[in-house]
Copies of this chain bind each other. A is one copy, B any other.
Amino acid sequence: MKAVTFASAGLAIVAGAHAYNSKLDQQSNVTAMNLTGTHGPERPLAHLTPTTGWMNDPNGLFYDNETATYHAYYQYNPNDNVWDLPLFWGHASSKNLVTWEDHGVALEPMDDESGAFSGSIVIDRNNTSGFFDNSTLPGQRIVALYTENSNVSESQFAAYSLDGGYTFDYYEHNPVLDINSTQFRDPKVFWHDETERWIMTLALSQEYKIQIYTSENLTSWEFKSNFSHHGILGYQYECPGLAKVPVIHDSPSNVTLHGNNSTMNATAQTNSSSVDHKWVMFISINPGAPMGGSFNEYFIGDFDGETFTAQDAATRVVDHGKDFYAMQTFSDAPNNDVLGIAWASNWDYAAYVPTEDYRSSMSLVRNLTLRPYSPNPETTEFTLYSEPILNYTQLNTNQSMHKTSLELNSEESVSYRLGKSPQGLLEFSLEWKVNSSALTSKHEFADMSLYFQGAEDDDEYLRLGYEQNAAAFFLDRGNSEVDFVNENPFFNNRVSQNIEIYKIAEDGLPIFKVRGIIDRNIIELFFNDGSSTSTNLFFLSEENYIGTVEISSGVDNVYTILDFDVKQLSVKNE
């Protein structure tokens, strides 16, 4: 029914059947390319992008312990730089999580009018599936579960790889799960130690249900429960994930938690020091985010092997930026870490972002933990902390700048050149203290602003900072001459972020902190060691990379920069 599929952004089912036609041969020119060698002027250096074509959701993330290699797959249209059918799984691998090697198409759909939609990969060490024999190392027994989207259904398919994830065979009795629905997708599978079974979460998207199935062999699945009508509903649920996330009982910097009435839910919730994990359900919704388009939410709770029970009815936001969607976690990550990658774009405007050879970037890999934080003086509870993985063994620091004890006033701004020939990759960390009693008028715009300006044209810049009357952090990505930025009516210029106090200084004043990674056209912000984050695309003119940072304030003696560290980075040649 045409009208039904109309509003399904990017997921419309195209009517009409075509003969099956493998697209793999047509893509052979892509598979041989190497990402690192084809970075255009606008392409991020330390983020995963496709060599050519269109990318959206991350899929099948896993770590191969045998070769110490991270593998990332993704929704991929190699034929164009917009989403379209047929849709494939693209594949890239990395040993350092900074540079990625492109392996082209990994999975293909059944025909030209279909898609190999999102899914996940597990390591079937014990060969529960029977897909393997002893010629495949246990740590490389790779099984993909994904959604085959045709013009009449969405059903779950299995495929397996005998060569470490580079090529796949399709299970001969696919689908492994079909409930006769057109809106049933994005299986994320993991091994549940306690019940010794495989668990699959997937979205019955338009009924707002995350369904939980179990299996002993990855091919026969039994329905167990629904997790339904939690959080912002939007148009539909997509890309669920259930993860056993480590609980770290200290906040990351041994912050002195403020407030006398602290309810210390963090302690109360765990009851005993032996509990060191909690379960987290991740859901993506699109369209219908409160801030427009796409976003990720999560729920903290318990999982008994069949049912996920949220601890409360709160809706928690994975990332407050505009460009963070469909986050998935890695299977078999080292140290049982929970590592996630998201698609760093928004369906509101993803098809039009001003890149040419390719379109879309992933976020950096994030290490996810649950830690106590105090969103206000009377509450301490667990929240999801995200720490970006930025592997310095693979990076050169071309220039670094470190300032301490800089008191800001409205008469003068401070400007720093960030080295010669910047390449657009920077990392910074900023701690600032706020003395609100120095405010002399409620009419003053009481900001501390950092202007990260283009080296070639300083009329183009990212502005970010904090304003005391709003008690919030801001990012303004609108100061650009790029047509897309000025003309696309969905690409909003400004985002704001409520952040809690990081710690209290000896003089009793509050301290806040942000860490940022800027990589050509993406900025990822991590507040207070990662208790909240904001990931946003931005676009300056071609090769106008950030070359200067200017710090200013509209008020006197309110802000002290305690610590400001900026590094101009580049990626080491391999």
Residues of A at the B interface (CB closer than 8 Å) are: 1-4, 6-10, 12, 80, 82-84, 183, 205-208, 228-236, 258-260, 263, 287-293, 295, 310, 312-317, 320, 347-349, 351-352, 375-379, 434, 436-437, 442-443, 445, 447, 449, 463, 465, 467, 469-472, 474-476, 478, 488-498, 500-501, 504, 508-510
Contact = CB atoms under 8 A, between A and B. Distances in A.
In this complex, the member of A205, A259, A315 whose beta carbon has the largest number of chain B beta carbons within 10 angstroms is A315
A258 to B, nearest CB: 6
A362 to B, nearest CB: 21
Identical subunits present: 2
Contacts of A310: 313
Contacts of A291: 290-292, 495
Contacts of A234: 375, 498
B290 A376 contact: no
A311 to B, nearest CB: 8
Contacts of A352: 445, 469
A315 B285 CA distance: 13
A502 to B, nearest CB: 11
24 contacts: A1-B258, A2-B509, A3-B258, A3-B508, A3-B510, A7-B510, A8-B376, A9-B471, A9-B472, A205-B376, A206-B376, A228-B312, A231-B314, A232-B232, A232-B314, A233-B316, A235-B375, A287-B496, A288-B375, A310-B313, A351-B442, A351-B469, A449-B489, A490-B494
A295 B290 contact: yes
A471 B475 CA distance: 26
Given A472-B348, A489-B474, A493-B493, A4 B377 contact: yes
Given A231-B315, A352-B445, A443-B82, A183 B470 contact: no
Nearest to A470: B348
A440 to B, nearest CB: 13
Given A230-B313, A287-B472, A290-B317, A7 B501 contact: yes
Contact of A379 (B82, B207, B313, B349): B207
A10 B6 CA distance: 44
Contacts of A230: 312-314
B313 A206 contact: no
A467 B492 contact: no
A377 to B, nearest CB: 4
A315 B232 contact: yes
Contact of A501 (B3, B9, B259): B3
A469 B9 contact: yes
Nearest to A320: B290
A182 to B, nearest CB: 9
A206 B443 contact: no
B472 A442 contact: no
In this complex, the member of A84, A316, A504 whose beta carbon has the largest number of chain B beta carbons within 10 angstroms is A504
A356 to B, nearest CB: 11
Contacts of A510: 3, 6-7
A489 B476 contact: yes
Contact of A83 (B436, B442, B478): B442
A571 to B, nearest CB: 31
Contacts of A348: 470, 472, 496
A436 to B, nearest CB: 6
Contact of A492 (B228, B492, B500, B501): B492
A561 B313 CA distance: 42
A340 to B, nearest CB: 19
B235 A470 contact: no
A363 to B, nearest CB: 18
Nearest to A208: B379
Nearest to A315: B315
Given A229-B312, A230-B314, A292 B496 contact: yes
A470 B293 contact: yes
Nearest to A534: B292
Contact of A229 (B8, B314, B436, B463): B314
B351 A443 contact: yes
Contacts of A259: 1, 4
A314 B12 CA distance: 26
Contacts of A376: 7-8, 205-206, 235-236
A377 B206 contact: yes
A447 B489 contact: yes
B313 A231 contact: yes
A500 B347 contact: no
Nearest to A81: B443
A134 to B, nearest CB: 46
A212 B523 CA distance: 44
A177 to B, nearest CB: 18
A469 B501 CA distance: 40
Contacts of A4: 258-259, 377
A501 B6 contact: yes
Given A2-B437, A290-B290, A472-B292, A496 B501 contact: no
A407 to B, nearest CB: 18
B490 A467 contact: yes
Contacts of A469: 9-10, 351-352
A292 B349 contact: no
Contacts of A3: 258, 501, 504, 508-510
